[in-house]
Amino acid sequence: MLDLHRPATSNAPTSGVARYLWWRAGQQRGLVVAGVALGVVNAMTQAGAPYVLGRAVDDGLERGISRELLTWSGALLLLWVIRAVSGVFAHRVDVANWLRACLGTIHLMGATVATKGETVRRTTPTGEVVATVASDSPRIGEVYAFMGRFLGGLIAYVAVAIILLNASATLGLAVLLGIPVVAGVLALIVRPLQQRQSEHREQNGRLTTLGSDTVSGLRILRGIGGEEAFTARYRAQSQRVREAGVRVASTQSLLDGVQTLLPGLFLAGVIWYGARLAIAGDISPGELVAFYGYAAFLTTPLSDASQGVQIFTRARIATRRVLSVLRVAPAVTDVGTTSRLPEGPAELVDPTSGLHVTPGSFIALVAADPDETAAIATRLGRFEDSSELASPTLGGVPLADAPLSEVRRRVVVSEATPSIFTGVLADELDVRDVGDRAAVEHALVVADAGDVVDSVPGGLDGTVAEKGRSLSGGQRQRVALARALLTDAEVLVLIEPTSAVDAHTEARIASRLRPARAGRTTVVVTASPLVLDQVDEVVLVSRGRVVTRGSHHDLVHDAERAARGDLTGERAEAAVAYRRVVSRNVDDSPAETPGHTDDQAEGSTHPATDRTATDSSHVTGGAR
């Protein structure tokens, strides 16, 4: 059985279309060779049939029903049997070639997006990536599905040319020269077709991108009353796609019509000229029949050639789109990573900010601008290898010098806007496939996500809808927190893990989080007093640098002393700044801050004490 689930390789060349297509052929060389071999056999049986038929006609006219006639008739039958059998297997191999090339490109795109997702998102719209996978990958597969027929026809064309020239130089030259002339005329139509196909692909990609963006932001559009405006934009872009498609179809219809007319005229001319030669006695009736068969056969390579031009044209456009994604430089790479991280708990240091995290500690990062603390958090997870900033270290070893797989295993960063994937809830939580149901249930308890299990039909064995759309914002956030806890990472960095839940839920999570992570390093980016009161130490960051650290209680007390004038200097300024950030977080109200919280989703009756899900600064800090 054909194995279509081979792992994607990351060494695909991206320097040009031809190199990629050749590399893709090498990845499935067995299928390509089988397709070409079967295509040659199938084409040669068609090419040999006119010769056998011509000999049968001459022998039949000369000797009547004879042994020679029966022999040639049997040979003709054998040829058509071979053609039928080879045609069946050739079609199966062609489909296998198409599937392997198409799915191979899709797997490669998937691996690229998985490893370079952040940088791909920055350079290429999501809709364009979707269009590339859905539309361009099949176009590339068509090349390999057609390759056997194309090369088989080409080889058969050369064989027929030799036979024709040996039989009659005049008629042979007429046939052989007429085919390229017809192909040249068809080629004149292909260039505008290529341009219009490229334009249609471009407009279709824009439409897909617009649709994807509109669907993902539909809730926001409804909130600001922008549905009609975006519907009008989508309608206008749809019309552009339709108009481009009509232009492609008009050129394609002209090509199809000429592709049928010219070979027909050419065939009629060959028969007329051959009949004149037969009347003059220059060729026999059997040779005339053979020439007719050859001329009719040669229209097939001609048709294949024009079809091949169209297929290669579409594939070239599609491959360029694929390569534009594959060429995106990854944000992180393992090139030159030779150092190994020390075994066991180790100190985590960010030289850029001056942050030092001792092994097993539970600390919080706070800043007036959440972008600053979010930047530190993502730096600790090595989301990017920056040449301008010093790499964070674990146990004195720069993370940029360590294998990425080891960094990902030991340092886990859970972002503020988590993605929930479609699948069985237990499997989506247990991303490292530990298979411990008790651990899954414990993580859900710590994240206070028991209601999520109850809301999913089938519980842990139920299926989560795409992007977790059946869950509220707070439920999605708590599922993501449970998922992060289940990694049991040596260092866990949580960016705003409770920004979308009400105060009561947040208090329960905060009280459970510390004992759940006992003995392991945890860094939380938050300005919530409920969480800050539970951590070992709070680190205040300003302008990207650590300015002070201490317990939440001590920093608030210092701020009170500074307000009374009992404390002055840099320490007092830092304490006042800390209290200002924390107080703003407490004082924000739903009327002042846009957002959605689980107090609405879960029916909280304490709006005065419940803080909002996110203020605008939290949204900015979490976006990544």
Segment 366-418, tens digit of pLDDT: 999 988 999 999 899 988 887 788 899 999 999 988 888 899 899 999 987 77
Q: Provide the CA 503 distance to its chain's centre, in angstroms.
A: 39
What's the mean pLDDT in 279-284? 76
Cα–Cα distance between 329 and 335 in angstroms, integer? Answer: 13
Under DSSP, the state recorded for 459 is G
pLDDT class for 607, splitting at 50, 70, 90?
Answer: very low
* DSSP-derived secondary structure for 583-612: HHHHH--TTTS----HHHHTT-S-TTTPPP
What's the mean pLDDT in 489-509? 92
pLDDT class for 518, splitting at 50, 70, 90?
Answer: very high
CB contact set of 366 (below 8 Å; sequence gap of 6+): 373, 526, 527, 532, 538, 539, 540, 541, 578, 581, 582
Under DSSP, the state recorded for 468 is G
pLDDT at 610 over 50: no
pLDDT tens-digit profile of 244-265? 888 878 877 777 777 677 777 7
pLDDT tens-digit profile of 27-44? 999 999 999 999 889 888
Q: Which two tokens stand for residue 9?
A: 């390789």
- In one-letter notation, the amino acid at residue 199 is E
Choose the weakest-confidence range: 172-176, 484-488, 498-502.
172-176
Choose the weakest-confidence range: 151-165, 207-221, 492-506, 544-558.
207-221
3-state secondary structure of 369: coil
pLDDT at 595 over 50: no
pLDDT at 513 over 90: yes
> Which residue from 412, 437, 409, 408 is spatially nearest to 425, judged by alpha carbons?
437
What sign results for the dihedral spanned by CA atoms 307, 313, 317, 323?
Answer: positive
pLDDT tens-digit profile of 161-177? 777 777 667 766 766 67
CB contact set of 569 (below 8 Å; sequence gap of 6+): none
Percent of the chain with pLDDT over 90: 28
Query: Which residue would you say has higher pLDDT here, 278 or 525?
Result: 525
Q: What is the mean pLDDT of the chain?
A: 80
Q: Could you tell me which residues are beta bridge partners of residue 84?
A: none
pLDDT confidence of residue 619: 31
pLDDT confidence of residue 594: 34
Using alpha carbons, list the distances in angstroms from residue 328 to 109, 324, 332. Answer: 11, 7, 12
For the chain, the maximum distance between any two Cα atoms, rounded to a whole number of angstroms, is 128
pLDDT class for 604, splitting at 50, 70, 90?
Answer: very low
Query: Which residue would you say has higher pLDDT here, 470 or 535?
Result: 535
3-state secondary structure of 368: coil
pLDDT class for 226, splitting at 50, 70, 90?
Answer: low
Residue 206 burial by Cβ neighbours in a 10 Å radius (0-12, 13-18, 19+): middle
pLDDT confidence of residue 191: 64
> Which residue from 151, 4, 149, 26 is spatially nearest to 90, judged by alpha carbons?
149
Which helix H or strand E contains 423, and what residues bound it? Answer: strand 423-424
Cα–Cα distance between 240 and 235 in angstroms, integer? Answer: 9
Cα–Cα distance between 614 and 499 in angstroms, integer? Answer: 6
Helices (H), 217-284: 218-224, 227-280
Q: Are strands 397-398 and 393-394 parallel, antiparallel or unpaired?
A: antiparallel
What sign results for the dihedral spanned by CA atoms 409, 517, 414, 551?
Answer: negative
3-state secondary structure of 357: strand
pLDDT confidence of residue 336: 63
pLDDT tens-digit profile of 382-394? 888 877 888 999 9
- Cβ(42)–Cβ(154) under 8 Å? no
Long-range contacts: 119-125, Cβ < 8 Å, 24+?
119/328, 119/329, 119/330, 119/331, 120/325, 120/328, 123/328, 124/324, 124/325, 124/328, 125/209, 125/212, 125/213
Predicted TM-score (pTM) of the model is: 0.65
- In one-letter notation, the amino acid at residue 306 is S
Taking each helix axis from N to C end, the angle separating 137-167 and 285-326, rounded to the nearest 10 degrees, works out to 150
pLDDT confidence of residue 584: 67
pLDDT class for 566, splitting at 50, 70, 90?
Answer: confident
What sign results for the dihedral spanned by CA atoms 245, 248, 250, 255?
Answer: negative
